[in-house]
Structure 1
Amino acid sequence: MDSPTVLRRRLGTELGKLRAASRMAAKDVAATLGWSASKLSRIESGSVPLQDRDAARLLAHYGVDDPAEVKQFINLARQSRQQGWWHAYGDALPDWFRAYIGLEADATKIETFQCELVPGLLQTEDYARQVIRAMNPGEASEDIERRVALRMERQQILDRPQPPRIWAIIGEAVMRRQVGDPSQMSGQLHHMADMAEGRPNMTIQVLPFSAGAHAAMGSSSSILSFSDLPGRVAYSEVTTISIYTERESEIARHEDTFLRLMASSVQPEKSVSWLREVAEEYK
C-alpha cells in the first residue's frame, strides 16, 4: 500500500496536470479561490494534506464535473490524509525526517552516499543503538529504544515482495570508525557484506581514502525514484536540517555526483571482500 506521503505527491501531480490543461496560472487559481499562492504550491507538491472541500473547489474550478472522477479525487485526498505507520513513534521521529520516511517507504530505487556512518537501512540493531545514543545525549533509555525500534521497522521495506533497488556508497571512514565495541563493529560490517552478497537488489561500494578529494566532500545524500510518480527526489541531511529537491536540473547534479563517486569507489565484489577483511580486524 502506498504511503500517505506518496499519495499526496500523486494527488498534487494530477491536480497540477489539470491546472496546466486548463491553461491557468497558479497565482490566478489561488487568487480566485482566495488562497495564498504558497498554499496551492504546497498542495501541488504534496507537502500538505488536501481537505475534501478544497479538493472539490479545485476540481470545480478546473471544470471536472464527472461524478466518478470527482469521487476518485476525493477518495485519493482522504487516503493521503491517513497516518503512516511511523506516526505511532511520535516524538521519536523528528518532524524534519517524517517526509523522508514516507518517501523511502514507497521508493523503488534508492541511491545513497554516506561518508560518516552506515546508511540507516543497513544498520544492525547494536550499531543503530550506539549511533542514536551518541546523537541524543542525555535522552532516556526508553526513548533511545523507541528510536532504535523505528529504525529497525524502516528496514522492513527490504523484505517486501518487490524491495527497492539499493545502491549504497560508503566512505572508508565508515569502516574505520569503531561504533560500539569491536564485536559489534565486526558484526555490522559482516552484516553489510551479507546483504550485498545475499540480496540481488543490494549493491555496496566503498570509497577509499586513497581516492583523495571527491565529488561529495563533506556531504551525504540520497536519490529516491518511484514506479508511478514523475521525477525523483534528492535528499540531503545535516544534523537537524533536511533538504529536499525535485528540480530536474538539481537532480541531474546529484546523479552526476553519484556516478563520479561510483567511478572513484572500489568495485562491488572487492568492496564486499574489504568489508569482511576489516570486520575480521576488529576481532
Structure 2
Amino acid sequence: MELEPDEDETPVSPARMLAARAKRARTGTGLSLRALEKKLGFPHTYLSRVENGDQLPSAALAEAFDTFYGTDGLYSELLTMAVVMAADTPKWGHRVLEAEKRAARIQTFNSSVVPGLLQTEQYTTALYTESMPGKDAENIALQVAKRSHRRAVLDSAEPLLYWAIMDEAALRRPVGGSATMAEQIRHILHIIDAKSAVRVQVLPFARGVHPLLGGSLSLLTLRDGANFAYVESFASGVSVDTPTDVSHLATLLDVARSKALDSGESVTFFRERLKEYEDDC
C-alpha cells in the first residue's frame, strides 16, 4: 500500500508526519487499534500513543508498519529522521553519545534513577514527563526515542561489556508508579539473564556513605584503548579524558562498587522490590 500526503498537508516534523501517516494507514485498511494489535503483535494502547504523537514507535514497530503496509522503509526512515532532528541533547552530552558507539566497555553509576541504557520506554517517558516541565508531548517522545536508540549498543553483533551500579534510591523512587517500576525491574532482570556481557549491581542504603552520592558517573573504554569519563548532575555535565582525572574517577567508582551487593545478591534485591511493586499494582 502506497501512502500519499494530502495536498494541503504541511509536514511540521518527521515525528508528526509519522504519527499522521500511521493513523491514516490504519484507518485506510478499516482496522481498529485492537484489530491492528492482533496483526502486528503490539499493544493497542501503544499503537494509540504512536498515532496520537505521544510516543515514537520503536525500531521494531516502525519495521512492522513498513512490512504490513508495504511502505518500503518509510516508517523506519521517518523514525531515524525524528531521532536525528531531536535537538534538546545538551551540548555536554553529545560527546558521550558518540563515545558510546565506539566503546568496548562502559562502567556506570547512577545515584537516583535507573541507568539510561537499562531503562524501558515507559520508565523513560515518565521520567522525562516529570523532569522536563514545559515540554510538549512531541519533544518528550523525541527524547524517549533517542534513549531507545542508544540501547542498541547492548544488542550489537559485538556487544560491549556493560557494568552498571545503581543506588537503592533508583529502585525506591516510583517513577511512573508501581506498574511502570514493576515493568522496569522485570526488564533489568531479563537483561541480566539474557546478556552475559551485562552486569548490574545495587548499592543499598545499609552500606552507608559512598563517594558518588548525588550524581552519576560513566567510564568508557573505547575500542582503540582510550579512556573517557563523563560526570553528570541534574542540569550539567562534564567530559573528562586526562589520565590523572580519569584515574581518580575510576577510583571513586571502585570504592562505590566495593560497597555494592554482588551479582547474586543484587538479583535477589531486584526480585524483592519487584514483588513489592507488583503487590501495589
1:255 pairs, out of 243, 250, 257, with 250
Q: CA separation of 1:86/1:264 partners in 2, compared to 1, >3 Å: closer, same or farther? A: farther
- What residue identity is the alignment partner of 2:202? V
Deviation at 1:251, TM superposition (A): 1.1
Tell me, yes or no, if structure 1 residue 273 matches structure 2 residue 268.
yes
- Deviation track 1:167-208 (CA, whole Å, cap 9, x = no partner) reads 000000111100112111011011111111211000011001
Partner of 2:238: 243
- How far did 1:85 drift? 8.2
Contact 1:170 1:205 in 2 (8 A): yes
Counterpart of 1:105 in structure 2 is 101
1:30-69 alignment, distance < 5 Å? none
Q: Distance in 1 between matches of 2:241 and 2:180?
A: 37
Q: 3-state DSSP class of the match of 1:139?
A: coil
Contact 1:108 1:225 in 2 (8 A): yes
Percent identical among aligned pairs is 30
User: Is contact 1:86-1:93 (8 Å) kept?
Assistant: no
* Contact persistence 1:207–1:264 (CA under 8 A): yes
Q: TM-score, normalised by structure 1?
A: 0.67
> What's the CA shift for 1:109?
0.3
Query: Displacement of 1:91 after TM fit?
Result: 1.5
Shift of 1:252: 1.1
Count of matched residue positions in the alignment of Structure 1 and Structure 2? 199
Q: Which has the larger radius of gyration?
A: 1
Task: Report the equivalent of 1:118.
Answer: 114
**Is the CA contact (8 Å cut-off) linking 1:89 and 1:150 kept in structure 2?**
no
Deviation for aligned residue 1:123:
0.1
Please tell me the residue identity of whatever aligns with 2:276: E
1:153–1:97 CA distance, 2 compared to 1 (3 A): same
**What residue number does 1:143 align with?**
139
Secondary structure of the corresponding residue to residue 148 of structure 1: helix
SS at match of 2:129: helix
Three-state SS of the structure 1 residue aligned to 2:214 is coil
Say which of 176, 186, 192 aligns to 1:190. Answer: 186
Q: Partner of 1:116: helix, strand, or coil?
A: coil
Quickly say closer, same or farther: Cα 1:260–1:197, change in 2 above 3 A: same
CA distance in 2, matches of 1:231, 1:262: 22
**Which residues of 2 match residues 164-203 of structure 1 at below 5 A?**
164-203=160-199
Moved >2 Å (runs of 4+): 84-87, 92-96
The residue that corresponds to 1:30 in the other structure is none
What displacement does 1:86 show? 9.1
Answer yes or no: is the 8 Å Cα contact 2:83–2:146 preserved in 1: no
CA distance, structure 1, for counterparts of residue 138 and residue 215 of structure 2: 31
| Paired residue secondary structure (1:91) | coil
Name the CA distance, whole Å, in 2 between partners of 1:215 and 1:137. Answer: 30
Whole-Å Cα distance in 1 between the matches of residues 112 and 137 of structure 2?
A: 24
